[in-house]
Each structure stands twice: as structure tokens, then as C-alpha cells.
Amino acid sequence: MYCDATLPRAWREALQNALAETPVACVDDPAAASVRLMWRPLSQLHGDAVITRFYAVAAPFATVQDDVSLPALQAFWMGEGGPLIVAEEAVGPLQTIFDGSPAHTAPAADLLARLQEDEGALGILPFDLLDPAFKTLTVDGRNILDKGLQAETYPLAVGLSVSGPDAKELIPIIRRAIQPATNRDTDRMTTLIMTGVTAMARGVAAKMEQKGVLYPALVISDTLAAADITHVSNEAPFIKGCQVNNTYMNLTLCSDYPYIQALKAIGVDIVGLSGNHVNDFGREGARESLQFYKDQGMPIYGSGLNEEEACRPLLWEDHGNTYAFIATLAWWPEDAWATATEPGACYYYRNYDRIFDMVRQLSQQVDIVSVELQFEETYAPWPTEDQVKEFRALHDAGADIVTGVQSHVPQAVEPYSAREPGGPAIILYGLGNLFFDQMQSWETRTGLIARHTIYEGRLLNTELLTTVLEDFAQPRWATPQERAEILRAIFDAAPPKNVDASPAKPGTSPPAPAASTPTPSPAPPSADALAAPSPAPTSTTPAAMGESAGAQASGAAIPVPQPTPPPAGAPILPWPQHQDLDEPHSYLARPTSSEYNQLEDNGYGFGSTAHGRYRVHHGVDIANPMGTPLLAPADGVVVYAGRDDAAHQYGPYPNFYGNVLIIQLDQPWRGRTVYALYGHMQRVEVTAGQRVTRGQEVARTGMEGIAIGPHVHVEVRLDNPDDYNNVYNATLWLEPFAGYGVLAGQVVTEDGRAWHEVKLHVYRLTSEGAQLYRVITTYAMDQGLRPDPVLAENAVLGSVPAGQYEVVLKLHGNSYHQRVYVAPGGVGWFAFVVNP
């Protein structure tokens, strides 16, 4: 029998031993043999392969490219075009597909390092030698990680065929000698899908009532349901008869029973309940929700009827692989935490030692330990320093998969190769939203779905699926361009591995956000029917507990500036002194009607740099879908309508706004002329010199110029409409919603210098106590920003429900507190004087 010359030596020796007691022997000359054992493309064997081998095309994990064609691989193999490094273990079998010998080879053990040294290089290696540090590319659109793949259609699949008169008798001998028969056994392969924030409440619930309970799942259901294990992290409890409350800043969330059909449509097998809204309807509501999951036969973990049950792992088995799933809450409010006798989520810090001991023990008992952590929320791709420490500590303790389920935006991903301490593993710091209504910014509309492949008891690889939210409720798959943008953002945000990852000392409460690393406040939840009153509750809906406003807290991201007052001689020194606002100017109508989003995006508000990513923001953004009608804010005359080109420059440089509209308002303020500017429109529907009336359609929402996602940029300028460095915070000029007001203040030194980008914690004071409502920052340093001529603010939080608040400033280890009342339609004022 001719034995293919490229067979590994161990295989040849095993064959020789197996054939020793037969009249057949391996020879090297095919002409001298009546039987031939040879590699051939699997597509040519029509199911007659004795042994099969599959090979993957891989790149370093932080690679945007998703696919490569077989002709391109052939060219790369020959040394033409981009570099291709082939694992030595793959060369022989693949020579039946590619011509000649590859230009570049390396042992499989060295392949990742070689690829990391050669930017843009691709590699080929045996399927079973993949690990999470690789990104696996599809070949001509065929995905080797897809369990539903028809094996013979995959371009890099080969098989050993036996031909000749005695072939049938030799097949059993060959199969006994060469083990395993395949390096891609789907009977030992699990596809595990894990998703981000789900809360089928508020805007999502409104759409489900309008368009059916399956509406959120319609686009993505086939892909999610195809997994062997599909996971969701569900924030909102199931409450029978839950009424849709789609009002602004509703943070008391629940889902009606029929909404479970959306989870079933995406094939949900397991549900993590570590969210800080699980007890929004009190302990009785939590009991009702837990019983509902049980009645539906849907396994849960992370919450329970008591602390013991909440912290218990969920054990699972699939295709011979064993799992332990753990979920825990590391954030407020305390009402969400399970106690020894009451239901809620497993509180991370109170059970710190227990959780780490459990991870260590389970890592020795099951194949895959998955820990999901509801950490401090941020609205940036960079994980906080505390987040990095805690997530890495869980990995070091033995967790194979660590997932952040708190973030409403996609965050960095940190893979570990099979050759790093702890073996193959991955940390996903935040997946963003799955089913949640946050349409107010591009970042909150985007999401990650992690599709893990577990093979023969280890994490083989992780794919990142990317989504974009539409219509407040329905995620769709990102376009190639959108996907590339999402991936680049999270890859750029990856923290370096060579930093101290020791965890924070466990305590009884979450660590306070570091005052030395300020961040902009998170964008608020959005609703498409903002001004519409919520339906009246019925007797079947239990009374809700207080708001879980801690869900809106923003954490300290790594690459942000330090808070500091400007040096002496900086612009606007001293900072203007505050006066009472004797002539209010909040008379501008919001640029959209109530059927659309009317909320400003606080994630990149006036005076913000969005964690140092962008230039200082000179306006207020209101996000809506492309083409949303924009309305005149007041009666006036159009000063300019069109492109902001070099001849009509209204921004820092030409084409900054794309399309721009400037209206001179009829109503002056304190004798000064008021101008309203809209930017980034899809199109402008009025012309210069034209009179417009309040509420008249004047433009359409777009993303022209320098814009990320469709929105309208709103500015207020006084006296001079042409000057980009003459802008005022439009939040103080927009009409507040009924029952809402504005919180404004200043943080300065005794000699009048303003503190820039200092973090302020805003607590809402209710009958339930003090609840964290927002974390905001003071304005960044920019000579073009103008505080209000009367208020002289350097911090603003708009659209605040009327009531009592406490503002807390933390600087240099000291805390400063001030209580403020926000009247309906009014401005609540605070002031701190703190020296460096």
C-alpha cells in the first residue's frame, strides 16, 4: 500500500505496526502498490474519507477582516500578495489543495507570535489547535466554527482516501491505527451564545405592544436559536399585567408575561439574573418573577429566593462538555441584593470569598467556568481600572469566560491563548445592549453577541457578532462598515495586560468611583413616545418600589484627563459670578415632536470630551433615526441654510456640520440677539431670508459632516451667529418637560478659577432614601465655551424630575455635599468653592 509521503511519522509508524500481521506493507513508490492511501480534498471524496482533517484561517484576535477567498489564499501560499504563515502540521495535507510548498511556515505553537510580529499576516493551522487569541476567518463565506456547516463544502477540508482492490478490508485497520478519525468532531463541539443587556420594558415594551411580542427577536432569532446554549442577561422582572411605562427616566422596570415569547424565539436556554433591576417591584415581585421562570422551565442563576440560592452556580452539560455558570451583582441599589431570607441578586462584595472559592473549585470539576458580572455602569468602551482588576482576578482564579453584563455600550475584549497562564480564556468587559431601548447615541445602539465554540472540554474560539438597534426595540446585524467601526472601537479600548491586576479589597459595598478620573455622565434612557402619558396602572400591577437610579452611574475610564483648575491667566479668569436668573430663557421648543426622541445625549453633552475621545463639544445632540423631521425652535428668520463650506464656515473648520441651519429668533433676551443653530442634517428644507414659525418643519435628521450616528446638533449663539467660539449651553434654553427642570451649578476655586472635568455624583432624595441618579462632570477647558451670562454655570444636568437632590463632589479624598431643590420648569442651583 502506498502511504502518502506527507503522513506524519507517528501515523506511518502506527500503520506499519497495525499492518505487521497482514500481507500488506507501506511503500513509498505508488507504482509498486496496488492500494493507495492519499490525501484528497474532502469535496472530491463524496463521503468516502477514512480520516478527515480541517484547517482554519486565523489572525490575531484584534483583526477586523472577516473573510478571505480561496484564490487569495492560493496566491498568498505562493508568496504573492499578503503574507500567509502555514503551520508545519498543516503543510502536507493542504498540498492536495494548493500548488507547491508554502512560502512561509512555522510550528503551530509559534504561529500566534509570528502573526503578531507581521501586521496583516494570516495563518493556517489545524482546527483543533485554535484558541481564543486567534480570530477565525471564513473562507469564501464558509465558517469552520459553524456546526451546521456541510463539511464537504469547506475549502480547507481534506480526507485520506483508500483506493485499490483490497481497500475495504484495510479501512478498519487504518481507522484503528490513526486516531482521532477527525480533528473536528461536532459530537464534541458546543456553540454557546452570550448576550448583553435585556430589559423588555419602557420603549421595548411599547413596541412589543404595537407590533407584537416577537418584534425584538425577528431579525436575529435564527442565528441565536441555532446555538446549543443561548444565554440572556435579563434585567426586568416578569410581573403579571405589567403596564407599559414609556416615560422619560422610568427606571422601575418590568415585563408582562407574554414577553417571554421573545426570549423563546431566540432559543434562550439559560438566563442570568444579576441585574440591579431584579427587585424593581419589591421582594414579592422578585418571588413572582422567579416562580414564572420556573413555571416556564427556563433555568436561571444569579438571583434566587435567598442569598444561598442566588449565588449557587448553574451546572450544565452539552455534547460531552461540562459547564458552571455564575452571575453576580457588584453595584447598587442595596434593595436588589439577596439576603439570607429575602430574594434578590447575588451581591458580589458580600460573597467575595465564596465566589472566588467557588470558581477555583469548579475549575477543577467542570470544563468551562463562566462568570458574568454586573459591574459599575459606564458609557465608554474602556473598562474602568476596578473593572479590569476584578475581571482579571476572576480569570486568574480559574474562570474560562468572564463577561460584563452591565455596560450599555460594547467594551474591550481580552483573549488569552492556550500558552498563557490559565490556558485558553476570554474576558469580555461589556457586551452592550441586546433588547433595550437606548437609541440616544450610536454607541448605545450598538451591541456585541459573543459566540463561543467549546471543543473537547476547552474554549476553542470566540466570535464577536455585531448588532445595531433600530426602532427602540429591534436589533439588526451591523453592516460591514458599521461592524468595522464597532470592532475598531473595542480593539482600541483594550487595556494593556502588563498592569497590576490585583483585585480591590473586598468590602460590603461597591467601591466609589475614583474622583481622580472624571468621565462624562452617561446618556439617559430614551423613549420614542417621550411626552405621552403612561397608561393608567391596573389593580393587577403591584406597586413599584423606588427607582434603581444606581443603574445610571458612570465609572472612571482609563484614558481620561485628570481634574484640575486652569492655570492663572487661562481664558475667562476669574469665572463669572452667579446671579439669579430674573429673566428665564428656556423658551426654545425641542427640535422634534413628541413621537420622536426629544432628549439630549448626556454622554457627549455640552462641554464634554466623551472621555477624551473627541474635541470639546459646543452643542447638545438629540439622536433620532435618519430622516426624522426637525422643527423650528421659535419664530424667526433663517440667516443661513446649506453646507458649511469654506465660504460659509460656522464650525472649527469647513464641512464640520455638513448641513447647517441658523435661525435668528424674533424674541431677544436681555436686549441681545439670539440665534439657534442646527447641524448634521440630512437635508435643509428652508432657505436664507425665509420666515419660519415655531414647530414648522425646517430640516431632516442626518449625520452629515463630522458625526457618529444620526442626530441633530443644537447650539445657541448670542449676538454673533458666525462665531464658533461664542456658544452657550442649549440645555438651558430648551423648554423643560412638564414636571421637570434643570440642575446647574459651578465648581470654582476661591480666586475664581473653574474646575474642569470634575466628577459630581447626583443623588435623588425620595421616600425610599437617597438613590444615585446621575454622575456628571464639569465643562472641559475650552475658550469657545461660554457660561450663561447670568447663571455662570460650569455643570448642567437637563431634564431632571422636579424634587430634592443632593450633589456630592469628591476631590483629593474629601467629599463636599449640597442639597438642591429643582422646581418644575425651574433651575436648581449648587455651588462648590474648593481650592487645589
Q: What CATH number is given to the structural domain containing 464?
A: 3.60.21.10
The DSSP string of 112-143 is: HHHHHHSTT-EEEEEGGG--TTEEEEEETTB-
Domain boundary among 492, 525, 549: 492
Domain shared by 136 and 205, yes or no: no
CA–CA gap between residue 784 and residue 5 (Å, rounded):
74
Q: What pairing do the DSSP bridges indicate for beta strands 197-198 and 229-234?
A: parallel
List beta partners, residue 700. Answer: 629, 683
Q: Are 167 and 256 found together in one domain?
A: no
Residue 539's pLDDT is what?
Answer: 25
Percent of the chain beyond pLDDT 90? 70
pLDDT confidence of 107, banded at 50, 70, 90? very high
196 falls within a domain: yes
Q: Which domain holds residue 647?
A: 620-728
What pLDDT was estimated at residue 561? 34
Question: Could you tell me which residue, 603 or 807, shows the higher pLDDT?
Answer: 807
| Cell 453584563 -> residue | 405
CA distance 705 to 680: 6
Cell numbers standing for residue 589: 421648543
Confidence band for 149, pLDDT divided at 50, 70 and 90: very high
In order of 389, 397, 400, 425, 695, the CA distances from 394 in angstroms are: 9, 5, 9, 11, 54
Residues 404 and 300 reside in one and the same domain: yes
The answer as to whether 658 is a domain residue is: yes
What's the pLDDT at 524? Answer: 28
Residues 155, 193, single domain; the answer is no
Does the structure show a pLDDT above 60 at 152? yes
> Rounded mean pLDDT of the chain?
88
What is the mean pLDDT of the segment spanning 34-47?
91
Average pLDDT, integer, range 26-52: 90
Q: What is the pLDDT of residue 501?
A: 46
Q: Taking residues 321-346, what's their average pLDDT? A: 96
pLDDT (average), residues 159-178: 89
Q: Is 53 among the domain residues?
A: yes
Q: Are residues 394 and 353 in the same domain?
A: yes
User: Is residue 124 in a domain?
Assistant: yes
Please indicate, yes or no, if residue 551 is contained in any of the structural domains.
no
Q: How far apart are CA 609 and CA 303, in angstroms?
A: 37
147 and 231 belong to one structural domain: no
**240 and 143 in a common domain:** no
Specify the CATH number for the domain of residue 711. 2.70.70.10
Q: What is the pLDDT of residue 97?
A: 95
3-state SS class at 293? helix
- Please spell the DSSP secondary structure of 347-360, one letter per residue: BTTTTHHHHHHHHH
CB atoms within 10 A of CB 222: 12
CA 182 remoteness from chain centre: 36
- Residue 249's pLDDT is 57
State the total domains in the chain: 3
With cell 422634534, the residue in question is: 592
Is the domain of 346 the same as that of 459?
yes
Same domain, 207 and 299: yes
Domain annotation covers residue 599: no
Rg (the chain; Cα; Å): 30
H, E, C per residue of 152-203: HHCCCEEEEEEECCCHHHHHHHHHHHCCCCECCCHHHEEEEEECCEECCCHH
In the three-class reduction of DSSP (H, G, I as helix; E, B as strand; rest coil), residue 239 is classed as coil
803 part of a folded domain? no
Looking at residue 113, which CATH number applies to its domain?
A: 3.40.190.10
Classify residue 271: in a domain, yes or no: yes
Instruction: Point out the domain boundary residue: 694, 728, 762.
Output: 728
| Least confident segment among 186-200, 343-357, 502-516, 597-611 | 502-516
Within this chain, do residues 366 and 262 fall inside the same structural domain, yes or no? yes
Tell whether the model's pLDDT for residue 822 goes beyond 60: yes
23 vs 522, residue with greater confidence? 23
The region that residue 351 occupies, defined by phi over 0 for left and psi between -120 and 50 for alpha, beta otherwise, is: alpha
> Given a cut of 80, is residue 737 above it in pLDDT?
yes
260 & 139 share domain = no
Predicted confidence (pLDDT) at residue 567 exceeds the cutoff of 70: no
What mean pLDDT do residues 387-408 have?
97
pTM equals 0.69
Quote the pLDDT of residue 573.
Answer: 57
Describe the crossing of helices 385-397 and 352-363 by its angle, rounded to 10 degrees.
Answer: 40
User: Domain boundary at 133, 165, 184, which?
Assistant: 184
Per the CB < 8 A criterion, the answer to whether 625 and 711 are in contact is no
Ranges assigned E (strand) in 35-148? 36-41, 51-60, 67-68, 84-87, 105-106, 122-126, 134-139
Q: Give yes or no: residues 155 and 217 share one domain.
A: no
